[in-house]
Structure formats: structure tokens, C-alpha cells
Amino acid sequence: MTELRADARRNREKILAAARELFREQGTAVALDDVARRAGLGIGTLYRRFPDREALIREVAVEGFRTGLAAIEAAKYSGARPMAALEELFRRIVEERERLVMPLIGGPLARDESVRELQRSIVRAVADLLSAGRDTGEVRADVTPFDLISAAAMVCRPMPHIPRSQARALAERHVTVYLHGLRPEGAKALPEAGDPSEYLGSNRRRDQGSGPSVLPLRRAPFPT
């Protein structure tokens, strides 16, 4: 992206913030006139930055995936013990959940290679966090990256008719319960989930290699 002037950058951020809010409230079919109105800008300003709906949806989604990946990498390289790193990861995800709206509701972007690479990077980074936790005996052996990503999405999923402050408190409680369930002590076997790659647009021959399978998240959450 070329460097924008300060006023153009502010307008872009206003449009993206308005789009996130309206996508969360009404879905991605919301009228672009409504997005411009929510941003306090004219529709011409919106179209100068985003020539069509697909471009706007893509940018909101990419921003969400980048936010999620940054949170995961910050936890991964924090130097904290694995469980503490996972706790920090979920805390950041709850804080940033407004920016994760498209990964949460499922952006229609699986065929965009830049998005697919972000998704693969997210799964690899989550797999590394879980592997570190298993090595120290802090994380049960049967948890997969998709389990963690799905949990993050469910924690951050918008809850209609609940005030934001209360929704955050409920999300934090959910995180505490989930993290406790990651520990191996007294763990019960998980139900069989099958192979989700069929539903996630994964090219397994390309994505497999050293380490865990990579699962691009086509209508999947996340990190949201």
C-alpha cells in the first residue's frame, strides 16, 4: 500500500472502523452508504479508498488476521512459560476482538493467496505454542491448533443485546474455564472431531510438511 497523507489515513481508519461495526451488527451485505454515513464521510470518499464491497471486506478481513497473528507471535516470543503465554494471548484477543470481526464471521476470502498465507502463518504459530506447552507438560497432548482458534472465536463472538462491558467479563470467564481445560491433569479424552480440512479449503498435499498439518480457515473464526 502506498503511503497515505495523514487526512487520507484518518479517513481510511474511520471507514474500516465503521465497516467493522456494521459487519458485526448486520453482516457484510450492509449498504456501503450506511458505512460511509457511520464513518461521517461521503460515499465518494469511501469509493476513493475502496472501489467496491469486495475490496472493503478484504481489507477488514486482512486487518483482522494480521491483528490475530501479531497477538499470537507476541505470545510465542514473550519468553513466558507456555501456559502464561497462552493466557496472555487470550487476554490480547479479548482486548482486540473488535478488530477480529471478519475472521469471526467468516470472510469470503479463501481464494485470496495473501489471506491464505496469513491463515497458514496463524496455524503454524499456534501449533508452536501448543508444542511448547506439551514439551513442558502444561498442555494436554490431544489439543490441536484448530481447537485453540475455534475457542478464541467463540470467546470473542459478538453477543447481541449484552452491554460490551458485561460481554467482556463473560469472555474473560470463558477464557479462564478454557485455559483450565487445556491442562493435562485429570483430562478426559476429547470427542472425535473428524478432519476439518474439507471445510477449510485446505490443500493438504501442499500444506503438509514438517510439523502439524496446516488448516487454512475458510469460514472459520480468527484468529478472529
CA dist list (Å): 50 to 22, 35, 54, 158, 186:
16, 12, 8, 25, 52
| Mean pLDDT of the chain, nearest integer | 80
Q: Which residue has the higher pLDDT, 113 or 16?
A: 16
Query: 3-state DSSP helix/strand/coil percent for the chain, to nearest 5?
Result: 65, 0, 35
Residue (of 61, 59, 18, 20) closest to 41 by Cα position: 18
CA distance 166 to 206: 43
Contacting residues for 175 by C-beta, under 8 A, at least 6 apart: 87, 90, 91, 94, 155
What global pTM score does this model have?
0.75
Q: What is the pLDDT of residues 150-198, one digit of tens each?
A: 888 887 776 767 787 788 888 888 888 888 888 888 777 777 766 655 5
Confidence of residue 213 (pLDDT cuts 50, 70, 90): very low
Q: Go through the chain and tell me how many residues it has.
A: 224
Q: What is the pLDDT of residues 37-57, one digit of tens each?
A: 999 999 999 999 999 998 998
CA dist list (Å): 188 to 141, 151, 157:
11, 18, 26
Q: What is the mean pLDDT of residues 207-221?
A: 36
Residue (of 112, 42, 99, 38) closest to 67 by Cα position: 99
Q: Which residue has the cell 493435562?
A: 184
Q: Which amino acid is at 18?
A: A
